[in-house]
Structure 1
Amino acid sequence: MHNWDTRDESGSDTGCEWEKDWEDVQRVCHQLGLPCEKIDLSREYWNNVFEPSLRLWESGETPNPDVWEVKFGVLLNKMVARDARWLAMGHYAGIEWAQSTKSSRPRPRLVRALDKKKDQSYYLSGILESSLGKALFPLQHLQKAQVRELAMKYGLHTAQRSESMGICFVGEKRRFTKFLAQYISPKPGPIIDMVTKMQVGTHQGLWHFTIGQAAKVSGQRERPKHSAMLSSGIITRNFRWIWDDDAPIAVDSRDGFRARVQYRHAEADTSCVVWRRSETDICIDFDEPQLAISPGQIAAVYDEAGRWCLGNGEISESIPVQ
Structure 2
Amino acid sequence: MSGGVDSSVAAKLLAEKDYDLTAVFMRNWDARDESGTDAGCEWEKDWEDVQRVCGKLDIPCRMIDLSREYWLRVFEPAIRTWQKGNTPNPDVWCNGEIKFGALIDSLPKDFDFLATGHYARKTHHPQDHRPQLMRARDRSKDQTYYLSSISETGLDVALFPLADILKTEVREIARAAGFHNASREESMGLCFVGERRRFNDFLGEYVTPRPGPILEIETNVRLGQHNGLWTYTVGQGAKLPGLTQKLFVAGKDHRKNVVYVALPESVVCHPAMFTSKITSNNFSWIWRDAPPSSAFSHRGFRASAQVRHRMSPVPVTVRQRWSGNSVQITFDEPHKGVAEGQIAVLYDGDHCLGCGAIDETTRGVAGFRDSD
* 1:320 equivalent in structure 2: 363
Secondary structure of the corresponding residue to residue 146 of structure 2: coil
The C-alpha deviation readout for 1:178-206, integer Å capped at 9, x for no partner, is: 11011122211112222112222211111
Match status 1:212 vs 2:212: no
In the superposition, the TM-score normalised over structure 1's length comes to 0.95
* 2:64 equivalent in structure 1: 39
User: RMSD in angstroms over aligned alpha carbons?
Assistant: 1.3
> Following TM superposition, where does structure 1 have runs of at least 4 consecutive aligned residues deviating by more than 4 angstroms?
none
Match status 1:170 vs 2:193: yes
- Residue 59 and residue 122 in structure 1: after superposition, are their counterparts in 2 closer, same or farther (change >3 A)? same
* 2:87 equivalent in structure 1: 62
Match status 1:88 vs 2:131: no
Report the Cα distance in structure 2 between the residues aligned to 1:205 and 1:267, rounded to whole angstroms: 27
Report the Cα distance in structure 2 between the residues aligned to 1:194 and 1:165, rounded to whole angstroms: 32
Match status 1:3 vs 2:28: yes
The C-alpha deviation readout for 1:283-321, integer Å capped at 9, x for no partner, is: 111111111111001100000x2x100111110111123
* 1:269 equivalent in structure 2: 313
User: Once the 2 structures are TM-superposed, how far is the Cα of residue 27 of structure 1 from its aligned partner?
Assistant: 0.4
Equivalenced residues, count: 315
Q: Which amino acid aligns with 1:87?
A: L
Report the Cα distance in structure 1 between the residues aligned to 2:198 and 2:325, rounded to whole angstroms: 35
Output aligned runs, 1:1-322, within 5 Å.
1-69=26-94, 70-79=98-107, 81-99=108-126, 105-220=128-243, 221=245, 222=247, 223-224=263-264, 225=267, 226-277=270-321, 278-303=323-348, 305=349, 307-321=350-364
Report the Cα distance in structure 1 between the residues aligned to 2:301 and 2:208, rounded to whole angstroms: 43
User: Once the 2 structures are TM-superposed, how far is the Cα of residue 76 of structure 1 from its aligned partner?
Assistant: 0.8
Q: Which amino acid aligns with 1:230?
A: F
The C-alpha deviation readout for 1:269-293, integer Å capped at 9, x for no partner, is: 1111111145211111111111111
Q: Which amino acid aligns with 2:205?
A: Q
Report the Cα distance in structure 1 between the residues aligned to 2:88 and 2:172, rounded to whole angstroms: 35
- Consecutive unaligned residues of structure 2, counting only runs of 5 or more, are 1-25, 248-262, 366-372
User: Once the 2 structures are TM-superposed, how far is the Cα of residue 158 of structure 1 from its aligned partner?
Assistant: 1.4
Report the Cα distance in structure 2 between the residues aligned to 1:204 and 1:34, rounded to whole angstroms: 50
Give me the identity figure in percent. Answer: 52
Secondary structure of the corresponding residue to residue 48 of structure 1: helix
Q: Which amino acid aligns with 1:285?
A: T
The C-alpha deviation readout for 1:146-185, integer Å capped at 9, x for no partner, is: 1111111111121121111121101232110011011122
User: Once the 2 structures are TM-superposed, how far is the Cα of residue 82 of structure 1 from its aligned partner?
Assistant: 4.2
Report the Cα distance in structure 2 between the residues aligned to 1:155 and 1:82, rounded to whole angstroms: 34
Q: Which amino acid aligns with 1:15?
A: G
Report the Cα distance in structure 2 between the residues aligned to 1:155 and 1:195, rounded to whole angstroms: 58
Report the Cα distance in structure 1 between the residues aligned to 2:34 and 2:312, rounded to whole angstroms: 36
